[in-house]
Chains A and B, each alone.
Chain A
């Protein structure tokens, strides 16, 4: 009976106590009481959980913290079972659930919370990205921050963080507060290309410097010009296209290396293309003069972004009249010397085309050759062109000369 009373008293005490919830279905009669078990503590403290336990054996405390459980054995101080938790056991913030068990029978369970130790604020974890953004205020880098105490715990929600941002030579400070242990801040670009430097601070702890490169925004339309030595279509000189400095709409020069395509349409609708990359905003493209009189329309594009005006560019023919002499029964045609725009021999390599048609005007063959020292020749061997009447049309630099010839069989073999 005395034992029964004692149990009742302890039970009463327990139910008035601050802590713990009784769960044990007393398979074995064990009286127990938790003594002064705190609800909250700070990382780095130590704790001794004390219980008055009467009866029962093999006491063990299951302590379940964030990363997993542990078992702790008691020491006995008088009537008290004391479970000592050293500071390193309680270094991590968060909830700790415990269960007091006596040889697998659950006596008591409860929990306490370990709070981050604000006084030992040690560092601030910062992650910054993307590290390359575009000017114009529509794009941003995000700064993600986790302020930490000395035990690597995120500081409590509502911790004030200061973000310093240096951009366009101006320094800005932004305040943010943490939620769920972290805070983030979107840092938008300005209209000016350059670099954004940021750091974050909590209490007196600062992060290192973080950088994001603000590159110019999309280029806007631009103009082009050309340079050439002369306006003759000699197929020998190079014409140079040059853009005006490419800028975005905020006046930032586009990044070096921006690709510019120069697209040319000639009088026949044929398309030619050259390209260049920008250096200090200016792109240059080069292309060989045409070999015949041409009328070019040139437009430059930065693909997907901008284009230039369309520029007209005309070339005059570089070749005057030319002579054609036949020999060996018309089986050899010698052309030239062909003279250029100032009476010089045309440069080597000028294209000459010969169209050969039969007496009915049906195209039989097209032969090409190039000038060398102002001259060129075609051979019409018997094997390919049996004796008959042919129409020969010579064409160079869009100048055509036509001949009706009778090829004999005793000529060139």
Chain B
């Protein structure tokens, strides 16, 4: 059963490589986008930390900034 699934009448190499390539592309794309997202969020938090209390209050008055500062991590 396992051998049949792996070999697929001699087409196993083609089928498995096509599926593996797809999964690999998904993983790489997900990782790249996730890293970009984390970096931008980290940058935002660092910048926010350097603001004085008055500017921080102005920035915090925007709903979107509050959302970013709240835990939006998807993992």
Do A and B assemble together?
A: no
